């Protein structure tokens, strides 16, 4: 219970979001910029380490050669493939859902924690703690069928805007990571998402945005139940947690869904540490990649003290073990795809 709520507990107020980075150009698809597989990455040790690893393990005859079926690469989502500030995007979804559902629940106007959501009163919302947030997640993520929920997520993504950038949330994916996903796939790696976020919140869009199929997405989930309603089979989403895919839950989820230990894992917070440890224990040569958010201008800068996406123990262990750490400010030429069209 507790771990899941780490995802939701620490809503930082919108103060300090920095100035808006307005870009009038539409987001473009990336066309071939060069034969460089990682064109949005600056030259340097990080980029070199990634390329050296991929070459090493995919060159036949190499001592570290990894057969194709074992080339499993797992990526965290929030803060690793897209931004997670000022709060997890899924929390904005839940709050918008409360507002959308409010007309059917007039009692919410005077019932907490709903009232605080409706009044955008984050400070009061937070006083209801885990219990209040669980209530909001269940009220917004359960009570419908899996098909209905997929449509709700898609509809929300089509219109919702990020408070700082005033762009669609799916515009705020990291261009260098899109290139890394492609580069790994081009080299025979199978790419998976392993996220603390909701599995059914991610599946409706990750295929199009990241090129990762729905069945390569592992996330937290609520229970579902099969029933036949008026002769029609339905999977109903129930207000009960099923699986928490965070921290020590990540290796558990990886084993459950994939059945193989990854050789490549990437995350950005202490919630990813166990996934990186698990990967590091692979008998094949493995690669651990942390994204360190160091760029307050283009994105955000945070690590050890952040309540969302805290990177503290992970940073120490990365240093100890020689894992690769991306310095966003130094290593990335661009952060978001929209910058490519400037």
Binding residues vs a copy of itself (CB under 8 A):
69, 146, 190, 199-200, 203, 207, 213-217, 221, 224-228, 232-233, 235, 242, 248-249, 251-252, 255-260, 274, 277-278, 280-281
Shortest Å distance, C-beta 256 to a copy of itself: 7
Shortest Å distance, C-beta 3 to a copy of itself: 12
Residue (of 98, 193, 200) closest to 149 by Cα position: 200
Shortest Å distance, C-beta 311 to a copy of itself: 19
List CB contacts of 238: < 8 A, sequence separation 6 or more.
Answer: 142, 222, 223, 224, 225
Shortest Å distance, C-beta 280 to a copy of itself: 8
Residue (of 55, 27, 275) closest to 175 by Cα position: 27
Shortest Å distance, C-beta 260 to a copy of itself: 6
Closest to a copy of itself by CB, 32 vs 320, is: 320
Closest to a copy of itself by CB, 182 vs 317, is: 317
Closest to a copy of itself by CB, 26 vs 233, is: 233
Cα 32 from Cα 51, distance rounded (Å): 18
List CB contacts of 118: < 8 A, sequence separation 6 or more.
Answer: 98, 99, 102, 108, 109
Helix 249-257 vs helix 273-280: crossing angle, to nearest 10: 60
Secondary structure percentages of the chain, helix, strand, coil, to 5:
45, 20, 35
Closest to a copy of itself by CB, 34 vs 69, is: 69
Closest to a copy of itself by CB, 242 vs 330, is: 242
């Amino acid at each position: 219970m507790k771990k899941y709520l780490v995802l939701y507990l620490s809503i930082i107020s919108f103060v300090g979001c920095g100035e808006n980075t307005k870009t009038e150009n539409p987001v473009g698809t990336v066309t071939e910029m060069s034969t460089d597989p990682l064109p949005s990455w600056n030259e340097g040790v990080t980029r070199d380490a990634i390329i050296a690893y991929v070459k090493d393990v995919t060159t036949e005859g190499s001592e570290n050669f990894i057969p194709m079926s074992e080339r499993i690469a797992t990526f965290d989502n929030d803060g690793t493939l897209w931004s997670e500030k000022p709060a997890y995007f899924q929390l904005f979804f839940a709050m918008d859902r409360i507002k959308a559902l409010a007309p059917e629940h007039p009692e919410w106007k005077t019932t907490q924690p709903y009232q605080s959501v409706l009044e955008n009163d984050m400070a009061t919302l937070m006083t209801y703690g885990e219990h209040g947030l669980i209530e909001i997640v269940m009220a917004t993520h359960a009570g419908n069928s899996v098909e209905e929920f997929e449509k709700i997520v898609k509809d929300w993504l089509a219109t919702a805007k990020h408070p700082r950038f005033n762009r669609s949330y799916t515009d705020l994916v990291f261009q260098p990571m899109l290139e890394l996903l492609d580069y790994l796939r081009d080299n025979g790696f199978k790419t998976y998402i392993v996220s603390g976020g909701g599995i059914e919140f991610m599946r409706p869009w990750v295929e199009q945005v990241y090129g990762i199929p729905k069945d390569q997405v592992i996330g937290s989930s609520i229970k579902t139940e099969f029933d036949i309603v008026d002769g029609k089979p339905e999977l109903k989403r129930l207000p009960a947690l099923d699986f928490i895919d965070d921290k020590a839950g990540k290796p558990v989820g990886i084993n459950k869904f994939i059945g193989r230990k990854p050789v490549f894992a990437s995350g950005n917070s202490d919630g990813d540490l166990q996934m990186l440890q698990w990967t590091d224990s692979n008998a094949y040569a493995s690669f651990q990649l942390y994204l360190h958010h160091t760029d307050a201008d283009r994105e955000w800068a945070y690590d050890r003290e952040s309540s969302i996406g805290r990177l503290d123990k992970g940073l120490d262990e990365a240093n100890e073990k020689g894992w690769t750490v991306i310095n966003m400010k130094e290593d990335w030429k661009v952060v978001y795809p929209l910058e490519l069209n400037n």
